[in-house]
Structure 1
Amino acid sequence: MNQEYEHEVPSDSAEEEAEATRRDAGDAESSRASRGWWDRNADEYQNDHGSFLGDDRFVWGPEGLEEAEAGLLGPPASLKGLDVLEIGAGAAQCSRWLAAQGARPVALDLSHRQLQHALRIGGDVPLVEADAGDLPFKDGSFDLACSAYGAVPFVADPVKVFREVRRVLRPGGRWVFSVTHPIRWAFPDEPGPEGLSIAASYFDRTPYVEQDEQGRAVYVEHHRTIGDRVRDVVAGGFRLLDLVEPEWPEWNSQEWGGWSPLRGNLIPGTAIFVCERTE
Structure 2
Amino acid sequence: MKSLNQESDMDSDIDLLLQPYYFDNLSVDSSVAVLKAIKEEGAFLIRKRTTDDIVSQPYAISIYYGPTIIHSRINRNSNGGFTLEHSKIKKVFESVPKMIEFLEKNDTCKLTTKYSMLVSKIVDMYRTNPKIFRPIGDDEDLNQLPYFISKKSKEDLEIILLNIKKDGTFFITKHSENNLSRDKSIKYIMGIYKSNKIFFLNITKSVYDEYSIELNEPSFRSIPELVKHYNYAELRIDRERKSTLRIFEKYILDLIR
What TM-score do you get using the length of structure 1 for normalisation?
Answer: 0.25
Output the TM-score relative to the length of structure 2: 0.27
Q: Which has the higher contact order (CA 8 A, sep 6+)?
A: 1
Q: Which has the larger radius of gyration?
A: 2
